Structure 1
Amino acid sequence: MRKILLNAFNMNSVGHIAHGLWRHPRDNSVDYTNIEYWTDLAKLLEKGMFDGVFMADVIGINDVYGSSPEAACEKAVQVPINDPMLIVSAMAAVTNNLGFGVTSNLTYESPYLLARRFSTLDHLTKGRVGWNVVTGYLDSAARGLGLTQQIEHSRRYDMADDYMDCVYKLWERSWEDGSVLRNRETGVFADTTKVHTIEHSGPFVKMSAAHLCEPSPQRTPVLYQAGSSPRGQAFAGKHAECVFITGRTPSDTAKLVADIRNAAAAADRNPRGIRVFLGVVVIVGKTNAEAHEKLEEYKRYASPEGGLVHLCSSTGIDYSKYDLDEPITFSKTESMVSVVEALTTRNAGQQWTVRKLLKQMEIGCRMAPIVGDPMEVADALETWVREADVDGFNLIRTVTPESFADFVELVVPELQNRGVYKTEYAHGTLREKLFDDGAYLPSDHVGSRFHN
């Protein structure tokens, strides 16, 4: 079996996915505003040889539930939330190998400035940064940035395709290889014949400028993406190097993974050139009994109501309008199409009610946790890799840092003993570590066509 890849899934906020667990007496997520919280986490993850920490982000407040931000603020449902990009340099300074996947919303970002920020981070991390490309899904974000509502789902992806062409030109074409001389004797820092103004005139993005940064170790950061809708899969097939998914069973997930790899093939790329990460919640103990005791303990602090508030914004549907046992009607919204499809298309015949949704959220989210001793957890992870064809996992925090520390102490050694997890880091940039290839985009990637 190929080596399992691991990311720690986190957010620069109190609550992320397993809502309510900030109340647990051993949880320290309320310290998220302290830099030591992040540097200590980075050192822990590097001790466990995690490939990266993946920083999710949202712009806007989850205010669909009750048509108000009150429930989200009261229960810390991804608010308050700070900028994920600003903590990366500190975490990089205390580690040597840990990668950093940073979410940034291109719908509201100038490509000219976004390209500079990622180049800067790629320099400061010595090539350990990736970009999670998102287009957003919250109306509250659109209103906060001067629009009346969220841009239509397919149009957002059309905008994203144009945007990517623009940033590829900045990262790959503006400064040629060998453009930076640093010649102290002649006083010539850069060969101006090899530094080019980028002219981009697409349907959504217009720009005439040279990139502000000299080429960074990877030029283009490793590209992450999480859209599982048909349009999102097409975008991933063209652009993504790593794709994040969720799934309830290996058989159902295998179909989604196959669709993603087929989308890559349709874009004339190697289907195995995409690394697929499955989001998982793991609750592990030294024994099975200890793990289940921990699960029951976590349930006492979790907030199913907080999970429902989050789900409302993900689907764009206000479940507060429904009685507990009233059948829910799902309609098209401009929020996360893949979440609605997961509830409907992938659960055909299931009649959802608020009571059923809350029942699934015993630990504050709809994800069923993997619970057991180290051998049982390792067995489950290997099953997912074997049967669903995923390459690795996004480990979702519950009680923090306990959930990550437990995994590092108990599960990592078991995986290493089985020969399915690395015992040392590979050399090089994040892209080289993930793909055993070069630091730059591979030749079959659309972005490489822009390289001089």
Structure 2
Amino acid sequence: MTNSSTSNTPKKILLNAFDMNSVGHINHGLWTHPRDESHRFNELSYWTDLAQTLEKGLFDGLFIADITGVYDVYQNGIDLTLKESIQLPSHDPTTLVSAMAAVTQNLGFGITVNLSYESPYQFARRFASLDHLTQGRIGWNIVTGYLDSAERLIGQKGLKDHDLRYAQAEEFLELCYKFWEGSWENDAVLKDKKQRIFTDPSKVHQVQHQGQFYQSQGVFQVSPSSQRTPVLFQAGASPRGLTFATQHAEGLFIGGDRPEKIKQQVDQIRNQATAQGRNAEAVKIFVGITVVTAETDELAQQKLDEYIRYASPEAGLAHFSSSVGMDLSQFADNETIPYQQTNSIASVNNKFKEQSISKNDLKAQHVLGGRYPLIVGSGATVAEKLIQLMDDTGIDGFNLTRTVAPESHHDFIQWVIPQLQQRGRYKTAYENGSLRHKLFQQGDRLSASHPVQQFRCQSTASTSNSNLNQKQSA
């Protein structure tokens, strides 16, 4: 494995803005700050302005989180969730993409969609359509869900077992691969006006799928887009989740507060990817961070002190309660929180097994209402810390959360980006091509070493036969 500490040419940092189509996302309570505009999340201009800002900063992508359901575990209700707007209300993130793509040329869009509540066909069609409209700038963050409130909303009886959710995810993804890669050949669309052949019928194939969770028969309605399969992101850190991610994902999001713990995760991910027959560097690994920056270290600290006056650590606890499936309000501030096995986010919940953690510990960690590592300082200080973290751990980049919106992104672009560029650790211009090519410099399509290869249709000789080829795709 090669990382920036051993390579002659240090890796450049990849950077996504991490956001959500809601008011409160990760850092809760800051919606009350006088300069915060996140209450405008339901206005299109809020998002088109953000997209243009991020492109100005040469961000690789805007990564938009999403949940189905509400956070109702803390205090057994949603009163605090509603008062503090803890991802409620939240709107569908896919509705934002076309508008943001229309005002940008290079910014990628990673969209979270919970496959547990989707039809594979309708989902695959929607994302293939978006890949066309963005000219290959779409990514999908694959999630299986963890909220019992979502199950009740959808009309199901309860959350499926953690590992069963991943078995369903495997089949969902397999069927999507068949739609995206196995129905239309690359040169099926001719657009030949003289011969009146828009699509060569011999190059379009039916998908046949009979599985444990899904059945499908027919032709995919969308012709091949630039990437065919969107860039695949995943955040599973449980043993089952990591097996799934290292087999399929191209981008992986991990948590981590200590560099040695992050490096341990990175090494495990790269080793597992290799064991699955993939290149160790075929997975780009991102860590979520929060940054407060200004012209000097002192001014950045003053800004943090100001932000803290508006943040809500308790709202952070309410969010965390749903992440671990345990009502944390039942414990005293100094009481050690016991580990309880739940069907929620296994990797987060396991921290109670590994460490002695109290509510006061969590509140200290949630000083800005969110649990991501907090980096504070001048642009130079932040740049050095990001580079150090990257070099010490072997990660590829960061998911940057917002604090006060849109101020925090403007600050990062003004103070941190130039410092990273001066150190040769951040691009000064975008590469041409799709989101996948920008991330990997290896073309628009998934590589032949990816599991998608077994579902790709093979090219056939052209024919004028007007009857649809009934050949079954792989």
Q: TM-score higher than 0.5 here?
A: yes
1:423 aligned residue: 428
CA displacement, residues 432-451 of structure 1 (integer Å, 9 cap, x when unaligned): 00000110001111012212
Matched position secondary structure for 2:309: helix
Assess if the C-alpha contact under 8 Å between 1:3 and 1:422 holds in 2. yes
For residue 294 of structure 1, the aligned residue among 278, 297, 303 is 303
Assess if the C-alpha contact under 8 Å between 1:17 and 1:364 holds in 2. yes
Alignment of 1:72-151 (within 5 A): 72-151=81-160
Matched, 1:10 2:15: no
2:450 aligned residue: 445
Report the residue type matching 1:434 in the other structure. Answer: L
Report the residue type matching 1:324 in the other structure. Answer: D
2:470 aligned residue: none
2:140 and 2:377 map into 1 onto residues whose CA distance is 33
Assess if the C-alpha contact under 8 Å between 1:62 and 1:69 holds in 2. yes
**Superposed displacement of residue 338, structure 1:** 1.1
The gaps in structure 2 that reach 5 residues or longer are: 1-9, 458-474
1:272 aligned residue: 281
**Superposed displacement of residue 271, structure 1:** 1.0
2:386 aligned residue: 381
Assess if the C-alpha contact under 8 Å between 1:237 and 1:266 holds in 2. no
For residue 432 of structure 1, the aligned residue among 417, 437, 454 is 437
For residue 161 of structure 1, the aligned residue among 145, 155, 170 is 170
2:352 aligned residue: 344
Matched position secondary structure for 1:372: strand
Matched position secondary structure for 1:301: coil
For residue 409 of structure 1, the aligned residue among 397, 410, 414 is 414
1:314 aligned residue: 323
**Superposed displacement of residue 326, structure 1:** 2.7
CA displacement, residues 70-124 of structure 1 (integer Å, 9 cap, x when unaligned): 2211111111000000001000000000000001111110000000000010000
Assess if the C-alpha contact under 8 Å between 2:30 and 2:310 holds in 1. yes
Q: Could you say what the CA RMSD is over the residues aligned between the two structures, in angstroms?
A: 0.9
1:242 and 1:94 map into 2 onto residues whose CA distance is 25
1:217 and 1:354 map into 2 onto residues whose CA distance is 48
For residue 51 of structure 1, the aligned residue among 42, 60, 65 is 60
Report the residue type matching 1:381 in the other structure. Answer: L
The gaps in structure 1 that reach 5 residues or longer are: none
1:76 and 1:159 map into 2 onto residues whose CA distance is 31
Assess if the C-alpha contact under 8 Å between 1:317 and 1:330 holds in 2. no
Change in Cα spacing, 1:101 to 1:86, as seen in structure 2 (3 Å) is same
Matched, 1:260 2:269: yes
Report the residue type matching 1:31 in the other structure. Answer: R
1:237 aligned residue: 246
2:361 and 2:288 map into 1 onto residues whose CA distance is 22
Report percent identity of matched pairs.
49
**Superposed displacement of residue 354, structure 1:** 1.8
Assess if the C-alpha contact under 8 Å between 1:12 and 1:32 holds in 2. yes
* TM-score, scaled to structure 2: 0.93
1:327 aligned residue: 336
**Superposed displacement of residue 202, structure 1:** 1.8
Report the residue type matching 2:422 in the other structure. Answer: N
1:182 and 1:97 map into 2 onto residues whose CA distance is 27
Report the residue type matching 1:383 in the other structure. Answer: Q
**Superposed displacement of residue 383, structure 1:** 0.8
1:190 aligned residue: 199
2:357 and 2:141 map into 1 onto residues whose CA distance is 31
Assess if the C-alpha contact under 8 Å between 1:233 and 1:259 holds in 2. no
2:404 aligned residue: 399
CA displacement, residues 155-184 of structure 1 (integer Å, 9 cap, x when unaligned): 000110111110001000101111111111
1:171 aligned residue: 180
For residue 33 of structure 1, the aligned residue among 15, 19, 42 is 42
1:409 and 1:209 map into 2 onto residues whose CA distance is 51
1:115 and 1:367 map into 2 onto residues whose CA distance is 32
**Superposed displacement of residue 351, structure 1:** 2.1
Matched position secondary structure for 1:312: helix
Assess if the C-alpha contact under 8 Å between 2:151 and 2:158 holds in 1. yes
**Superposed displacement of residue 305, structure 1:** 0.7
Assess if the C-alpha contact under 8 Å between 1:375 and 1:414 holds in 2. yes
1:155 and 1:267 map into 2 onto residues whose CA distance is 21
Matched position secondary structure for 1:260: helix
